[in-house]
Amino acid sequence: PQIIGSYIIAGTSLVLFIDWLVARYDFPQYYVTLALFGIISILPSVIILAYFHGTPGKDEWTRIEKIGIPTNILFIAVMLFIGFIYDFWKISPVIEEAFPVEIFFISNVRSSNEDLIILDETLEIDGTTHLLKPISDEKIMILNGKILSKTFPVLNNQFKYTSYSDIVNKMAKGGTLPVVYDYRWQEQLKLINESDDFKKGIIDSYVGSTNQFQIESDIHNAFYINVYEIEPPVDEINNYVMLPFFHRTIGDIIGENNESINYLDTLYTDLYDIGILQVAEGMGQLFSHSLDEIPYQLAHYVNGTIQQWINMGYISGYKQLQIGISAINNDKVVIKHNDDYNRLKNNMILSVNREYQSDHNGQERFRTDLLNYQKAIKNNDSLMIIFNEMADVNGFTQTA
Q: At which of 91, 118, 150 does a domain end? A: 91
Query: Is-contact 339 321, C-beta < 8 A?
Result: yes
The reply to whether 250 and 390 lie within a common domain is no
pLDDT at 165: 92
The reply to whether 361 and 258 lie within a common domain is no
The reply to whether 87 and 114 lie within a common domain is no
Q: Estimate the crossing angle of helix 30-41 against helix 2-25, to 10 degrees.
A: 170
The reply to whether 257 and 397 lie within a common domain is no
- Could you tell me if residue 219 is inside a domain? yes
Q: At which of 260, 280, 312 does a domain end? A: 312
| H or E element in which residue 280 lies | strand 273-283
pLDDT in tens, 153-180: 878 777 889 999 999 999 999 899 999 9
Name residues of the chain where pLDDT drops below 50: 92-99, 393, 398-400
- Could you tell me if residue 299 is inside a domain? yes
The reply to whether 171 and 207 lie within a common domain is yes
pLDDT at 96: 38
- Could you tell me if residue 380 is inside a domain? yes
Quote the CA–CA distance of 202 and 215 in Å, as a whole number.
Answer: 12
Quote the CA–CA distance of 386 and 374 in Å, as a whole number.
Answer: 11
The partner residues of 125 in beta bridges, in order of sequence, read 128
Quote the CA–CA distance of 211 and 181 in Å, as a whole number.
Answer: 9
pLDDT at 189: 85
- Could you tell me if residue 364 is inside a domain? yes
pLDDT at 153: 83
The reply to whether 27 and 173 lie within a common domain is no
pLDDT in tens, 18-44: 888 777 666 776 778 888 888 888 888
The reply to whether 128 and 187 lie within a common domain is yes
Q: At which of 290, 312, 334 does a domain end? A: 312
Query: Is-contact 396 384, C-beta < 8 A?
Result: no
pLDDT at 394: 53
- Could you tell me if residue 341 is inside a domain? no
**Which phi and psi (to 5°) does residue 286 adopt?**
-125, 130
Spatial CA neighbour of 159 closest among 96, 225, 66: 96
- Could you tell me if residue 333 is inside a domain? no
The reply to whether 70 and 108 lie within a common domain is no
pLDDT at 106: 94
pTM beyond 0.85: the answer is no
The reply to whether 166 and 274 lie within a common domain is yes
pLDDT at 141: 95
Spatial CA neighbour of 107 closest among 52, 44, 25, 167: 167
The reply to whether 246 and 123 lie within a common domain is yes
Quote the CA–CA distance of 7 and 21 in Å, as a whole number.
Answer: 21
Write out the residue range of the structural domain in which residue 394 sits: 354-400
The reply to whether 51 and 106 lie within a common domain is no
The reply to whether 140 and 80 lie within a common domain is no
Which alpha helices (H) appear in 162-222, and where do they start and end? 164-172, 184-189, 195-204, 210-217
Number of domains making up the chain: 3
Quote the CA–CA distance of 67 and 81 in Å, as a whole number.
Answer: 21
Quote the CA–CA distance of 5 and 295 in Å, as a whole number.
Answer: 58
pLDDT at 351: 64
What one-letter code names the amino acid at 303? Answer: N
